Structure 1
Amino acid sequence: MIIRNIEVSQFRNYGRCTTKLSPEINWIYGANGQGKTNLVEAVFYLCNLESFRTTKPSLLLQEKKAEAVLQAEVERKKVLHLVRVNITKKGRQVFLDHKPSRRVSEYIFSFMALSFTPEDVNLFRSVPQERRKFFNRIMAFNDPLYFNNIQEYSKIISQKNALLRQGKIEQIQLWNEMLAKSAVQLMKRRNSYVEQVNQHLNDIFKDISGRPETLKLIYKPSLNSADYEEKNCLQQLEKSLSRDLQYGFAVLGPHRDEYHLMMDGKKDRDFFSQGEFRITNLSLKMTINRLFYEGYQFYPVLIFDDLFSELDDEVINNILQYFLTLKNQIFIT
C-alpha cells in the first residue's frame, strides 16, 4: 500500500496543504507547532478512519471551520484509488473512487496504517478495552471470518445484557449456549494469532533493542478453558449468573479478555519503564507488520511520530538499520 499524494484542507492547523509522497521513507521535520504530527495524523485517518490522538471529530477541524477534507491517491495491489474523507463535528463521510462508501468495513479492510506515537505507547497501560479494540482491528483485517465472528458475538452479548438488566433469567440459558459457541471460535482465533506473533516477536525485539531478555505476548481469556471446549465455557457462563445479575451485565466472555506483554516473565504494567514500553510496543508493531506481508503480501503504511525520544543512540541506530530492510511506505516526524 502506497499513498502517492495527499491533500489536507481545514484539518487541525492546515488551511490547505498538498504534497507528493515518496513510496519509501518520508521524513517530516520542522519547528515545534508547525504541524508535523497533524500531517501524519491525517495520513493515519485516511487509512484507518480514526485519529490516534482523539475520538472527537470536532478537534480535527481547523478553528471556526465546519468541515475538514482529506484526499489522497492510494495504490493498493498495483491499483490506484482516489479516497476522500469529509469530516464534520457530527462525523465523517467517506468516498472511494468518487463513490460514497456505504459500509465502513469495506473501506477499512482495504487500507491500513500502523502507528507508533507517544499516545500508542500507552496501549499496555490503558484499560483492557483498548487492547481488545486494537487486536480486533488487526485480526479482522487479516481474517474476514474473525470480523463476522466479532459481529455475531457482539449481538449475542448485547441481547444477554438486555435480559440481565430486565431480570429475565428464564431466557438466559439459550443465550449462554449461543454465547459459548461464539466465544470458543473467537478465543481460538485470538490464541492462534498470538501464537503467530510470538513466532517473531522476540527476534524482532532483540534486533531492535539489542537486549538479551525474552519478550512475549500473552493472551488471557476471561473464560478459563485450556482446550477451548464449548461445554466447559458454557458451565462457567452458567455459574456466573448470580454475578451477572448483580452487575447487570455478563462478567465472563471474550469481551473481557486481556492481553499483556511479558519480558523475562515480568508483566508490562507492573515492571516496564517508559523506555521499555516504547521499545516493546515498537517491536510488537513491527511483528504485526511482518505477519501482514508474510501471510497476506500486504504492506501497511507505517507512521512514527516522535520516534526517537527516550531511546539511546544504539537503539536508534538499530531501528534505522531495521527500517532499511522494510518494503513499507514510512512516515517519520
Structure 2
Amino acid sequence: MIVERLSLVDFRNYAAADVTLGAGANLFVGRNGQGKTNLAEAIAYFATLGSHRVSQDAPMVRDGADAAVVRARFAQRDRHVLLETQLNRSGSNKARVNGSPVRTAELPRYAQVVLFAPEDLQIVRGDPSGRRRFADQLLIQRTPRLAGVLGDYERVLRQRTALLKSARARGIRGEALATLDVWDDKLVRLGSEVIRARLALAGELAGPVAQAYAAIAGADHRPRLDWALTVGGADPEEADGPATAAEASAIEQLFRTALEAKRPLELERGLTLVGPHRDDLVLRVRGLPVKGYASHGESWSVALALRLASAELLRAQSQLGDPVLILDDVFAELDADRRARLAGLVAGYEQVIVTAAVEEDVPAALRARTVRVEAGTIREDVDG
C-alpha cells in the first residue's frame, strides 16, 4: 500500500496543499514548526481516526476555518481508492470513499498506516491510558469490527458509572440496585471480548518486539509485554502492578467475581473500578518495568520497537499490501549506528515517509524523494 497523493484544505497551518508521493522512501524536510508533521498526521488520521498529538479533532482545523478537509489517494496492490474526511469544529465529521458517503468509522478498513513520533515515548513512560490506546488502535487496524465493540463498551461503562454516581448520591443500596446487574452483564460480555483480544495481541507482538528492539539497540535486553488485569486483581493505581497469568477462557468468571468483590467500594466512590478501561500493558526490559527503570535510550528503543512490531503484524496479515510506515522526527534522536540499523529495518516496506528538520540526519537510502516544506507551503518537490 502506498499514498500517491495527499490534498489538504484548512488543515493545521495549510490553507491548501497538494503533495505527490511515490513508492519507497519519501522525505519531508524543513525547519521545526513549518508543517512537516502536519502532513504525516493527516495521512495517519485515516488509519486511526485521531491525532498522535491531540485528543480532539478541533485543533487540526486551521484557525478561522469551520472545517478541514483531507483527501488521500491510496494504491492497494491492483486497485486505487480515494479517501476523504471532513473534520468539523462542531458536529460530526464526514467521510467519503471514492466519492460515496460512508461512516467515518469505515475509513480504517481502507488505510493501514503505522506512525512513530517522539510523542510515542509517552506510551512507555506515561499513564496506562496511552498504552491502552496504542493496543486498541492496533486492534482496530487489524480487526475493524473491534471498533464497534470498544465503542459499545465505553457506552455501557458510562451508563454504569452514571448509575453508581446516582446511587451514591441518593444512598441506594441492596435490592434497589437491581438495574446495576443488567449493566454488569453487558460490561462483562463486551469487556471480556476486549480483554481476550488484548491478551492475544500481546502474545503476537512479543516476538516482533524482541526482534525489532535487538535490531535497534544492538543488544538483547529481553523486552516483554504483559497485561496487568484488574479482573485478575492487579491494582491500576499502583505504578507497576504485576501482570496476571489469567487464562483467556476464564475472563468472564474473573470479571464477574471482581465486580462482586468491588461493588461496595464502587458504590462508595461512584466509579467502575474493574474492567479493561483500568488495565495496564506492563512493558519490561532486563526484567524491570520500562516506566521508572529504563534509560532514555532503552525507552526510545522500546517505543520504536512497538511501532515496528505493529507494522510487521499488519504486513503479515494484510491483503492490501504493506502498511504505510511513517517515521516522524525520529532520526535526530538516534546515533549514527542506530540510524543505519533503522534504515535497514524499514527499507523493504512499500512506502516509508520520513520527516526531519535536518536532511543530513536521515540516511541516504531514505532520501530517494524529498519534499521541502516551509510555513505551510510545499516549496520544492525533487526526485533524488
TM-score by length of 1: 0.91
Q: Give the equivalent residue in structure 1 for 2:292.
A: 270
CA distance in 2, matches of 1:61, 1:150: 26
Q: Larger relative CO (CA 8 A, sep 6+): 1 or 2?
A: 2
- The equivalent position to 1:201 in structure 2, one of 209, 215, 222, is 209
Query: Are 2:110 and 1:87 equivalent residues in the alignment?
Result: no
For structure 1, which segment, 292-301 or 174-183, has the greater mean C-alpha deviation from structure 2 after superposition?
A: 174-183
What amino acid sits opposite 1:22 in the alignment? G
Aligned residue for 1:28, secondary structure, equals strand
Aligned residue for 1:200, secondary structure, equals helix
Aligned residue for 2:332, secondary structure, equals coil
1:176-201 Cα shifts (integer Å, max 9, x gaps): 34433433332222111100101221
Equivalent residues in 2 for 1:25-64 (5 A)?
A: 25-64=25-64
- The equivalent position to 2:329 in structure 1, one of 283, 295, 306, is 306
TM superposition shift of 1:88: 3.5
CA distance in 2, matches of 1:23, 1:138: 23
Q: Give the equivalent residue in structure 1 for 2:348.
A: 325
- With over 3 angstroms needed to count, the CA separation of the structure-2 counterparts of 1:223 and 1:318, relative to structure 1, is same
Q: Give the equivalent residue in structure 2 for 1:256.
A: 278
- With over 3 angstroms needed to count, the CA separation of the structure-2 counterparts of 1:285 and 1:158, relative to structure 1, is same
CA distance in 1, matches of 2:87, 2:191: 36
1:154-213 Cα shifts (integer Å, max 9, x gaps): 343333223212325233234334433433332222111100101221112111220231
Alpha carbons 1:300, 1:329 under 8 Å: kept:
no
TM-score by length of 2: 0.79
Alpha carbons 1:46, 1:70 under 8 Å: kept:
no
Equivalent residues in 2 for 1:192-231 (5 A)?
A: 192-224=200-232, 226-228=246-248, 229=250, 230-231=252-253
- With over 3 angstroms needed to count, the CA separation of the structure-2 counterparts of 1:173 and 1:46, relative to structure 1, is closer
1:282-301 Cα shifts (integer Å, max 9, x gaps): 11111111111112344222
- With over 3 angstroms needed to count, the CA separation of the structure-2 counterparts of 1:35 and 1:186, relative to structure 1, is closer
Q: Give the equivalent residue in structure 2 for 1:289.
A: 311
What amino acid sits opposite 2:271 in the alignment? F
Unmatched segments (≥5 aa) in structure 2: 168-175, 233-244, 357-384
Q: Give the equivalent residue in structure 2 for 1:98.
A: 99
RMSD: 2.2
Aligned residue for 1:53, secondary structure, equals coil
TM superposition shift of 1:40: 1.7
Unmatched segments (≥5 aa) in structure 1: none
CA distance in 2, matches of 1:240, 1:174: 16
CA distance in 2, matches of 1:144, 1:44: 16
Equivalent residues in 2 for 1:151-190 (5 A)?
A: 151-167=151-167, 168-190=176-198
Alpha carbons 2:94, 2:104 under 8 Å: kept:
no
For structure 1, which segment, 281-290 or 75-84, has the greater mean C-alpha deviation from structure 2 after superposition?
A: 75-84
CA distance in 2, matches of 1:27, 1:97: 27
Alpha carbons 1:173, 1:238 under 8 Å: kept:
no
What amino acid sits opposite 1:233 in the alignment? F
- With over 3 angstroms needed to count, the CA separation of the structure-2 counterparts of 1:252 and 1:63, relative to structure 1, is closer
Aligned residue for 1:199, secondary structure, equals helix
Alpha carbons 2:282, 2:289 under 8 Å: kept:
yes
What amino acid sits opposite 1:261 in the alignment? L
Query: Are 2:135 and 1:112 equivalent residues in the alignment?
Result: no
CA distance in 2, matches of 1:172, 1:130: 29
Alpha carbons 1:113, 1:301 under 8 Å: kept:
yes
CA distance in 2, matches of 1:154, 1:35: 34
